Structure 1
Amino acid sequence: MKNLYGVVVISLYCATANAALNELSGAWAGSIGGASIAVCFNESEELKGVYYSDEFKAPIRLIAIDDVFSAKDKKIETLSGTKRSVTHLLVRYENTLAKTEQVVSLKRVNNSALYDSCSSVAFAGKLATSRSMPTIEYQGHVYNYYKKNGVPLFSLTEKNAVTDKINKDIYDLIHPLKTIKAFELELKPSLGSNGSIETSEASITPQFWSSDYLSLNFNQWSVDTGRSGVSWASHTWDLKTGDRVDPWAWVNTKYLWKTPYSGTVKLPKKLTNLLYAITDNLKNCPALDSYDTYEMVITRQGLLVSSPATGNDCDKEWNLTWAQLYPILTPEGKIAAAKMSGSNK
């Protein structure tokens, strides 16, 4: 089965004159084309439903309109109900592209009680773990990445003492037990109230990868906070030793971590002077050394330094070459520059 994400319609026809929509509330399970599906309904004045497949675990909200539940996307598939009771529901599954349809039987999950909400373990339990993602390639390098219980899990596929050390460090950084608890606290109320997943999000993505260094971007968004709740920062590892390194130390300062996703840094004097020397239009901007944080990313040519984003003309980005940086680099920084300057991998 390739896709369950299309138009899903569950048409509810009363079995008796006294049948009510809220008889559907609770968790249901079945299968289509060998792929298991889960459907649930919340009891409310306007009964709300959700469905997902075990393969993708991305819930789609079902909205009741004239006793018909629908989720609109690409108009590929439909799921429509023809008969239901307290414990069983017969539905018709239709794939409009393949021009096929079949009858599917949905049963209550583990005899879940009538009026269980979509936050119940019967429905939400499997949503805590997403399916594993295939091995991903980034600039000729491969890694595994997937999410489990709201935790982004990143691991290097090559197995040796160095990669084992790095993988453990990445895992420890995200505080999995703490993150899982926070995810579960947000997941169930969200499903129970509006039938959708509205939780904080986190991700880990490669920013730079050479034979010597790996830099990963740790990104996090806190639910119900809008843009102000977004935070991110870059972690870098030495691929020869497995140690985490701070590229800011190469220009004689230090990044002070608050969380794995944020921290503060002050521009050192020599770097500040260099940036002033190569930058125009700073007359009406705050002093460069007045900001409490900057972003630094390693490139093959040098270091990319960015000021905090404020949305005005004072937002700056400097793509500094190793040649420009060399006079202000620490001994550690000069060693890194020599490695990077001679690396084409």
Structure 2
Amino acid sequence: MSIFADHDPPSFLDEPWLRQLSDSDELSETDSLFDEIPDNSACHPEIPSTTCSGTSVLCSTCVVGRRKPPPIPGFYLDPSVVIPPKRAEQLFLSCMDTYFRNGDVNQVMLFGRARERASSDIQKSQLGDMPFHPQVNSGLPAFLCALLSDLEALLRPSLPPHTHRLLFPPLSEPARARQAIVNLYRPGEGISPHVDLLGRFGDGIIGVSLGSGCVMSFRKELNEMQNSSHERTEQELEERGFIRDGDGVRWDLYLPERSILVLSDEARYEWTHGIEGRGSDMVVADDGKNGTQCIERDSRISVTFRWLLPGAEIVGDDP
């Protein structure tokens, strides 16, 4: 889901700007501003399918989503750390009501300008008593600011301290600007494999799944591993559970509804992530036994927070 190349580049003003993307507009290429392209195909034509028992929904027999996160440095997803059901429902409805009343819109991008917060203006998470010390980003809607507050509290126990500090820096550090991107995926829709733009976004990405789960694929080219700071042999990766995929390796992970994904370090910079467009996913059964289950997709909203690099808030050349 990419910003459109045929729009005039906006300037970044004191007040944030918002862009809504429509299914009817022309999409840019993979090297566009935000490096995200929707894949609206219901199923990959080269992958054989099978009918789920009791449904008419097709599931790919070649892709089975795992429930265990991949052993990639900087990758964090704890299945036990999720947005509470009531909060998730409120967030989903807020996004739908605020951004997706128009049936042609499937993406919005929000840019905030970082502003220092006085110590007397510290908020608290709605999910706990721990004070929240974010760097304020003016312009993000209140419900997304509240979500950031919740994420700060939810992720603190499970993330390494340096990763948590990367995502939620203290007030003593220089102010930074966040970008929030909200995507609506209808059943059968996906997104092409990509790495978030290296020259525009910094380290530390948070993704929240609302409304429905889906399988997300993470892939790395084998030739890239030779130049990687985390070099591993192909055999080592296969022994750790990665699947050989052409000239690379991959890991297909089921992202449950209300789950929280964090990408940093190698996971952020060296692995592509994408969602195959299909109506349902074959997933490893969650009952602790061998076998798989077919999970039908529903409408899903992803909320992604990224740091803008210095100067990345200006799009295009000065007139």
TM above 0.5: no
Higher RCO (C-alpha under 8 Å, 6+ residues apart): 2
Please give the range of the TM-score, normalised by the shorter of the 2 chains: under 0.3
| Larger helix fraction of residues | 1
Give 1 or 2 for the bigger CA radius of gyration.
Answer: 1
TM score, norm. by length of structure 2: 0.26
TM score, norm. by length of structure 1: 0.25
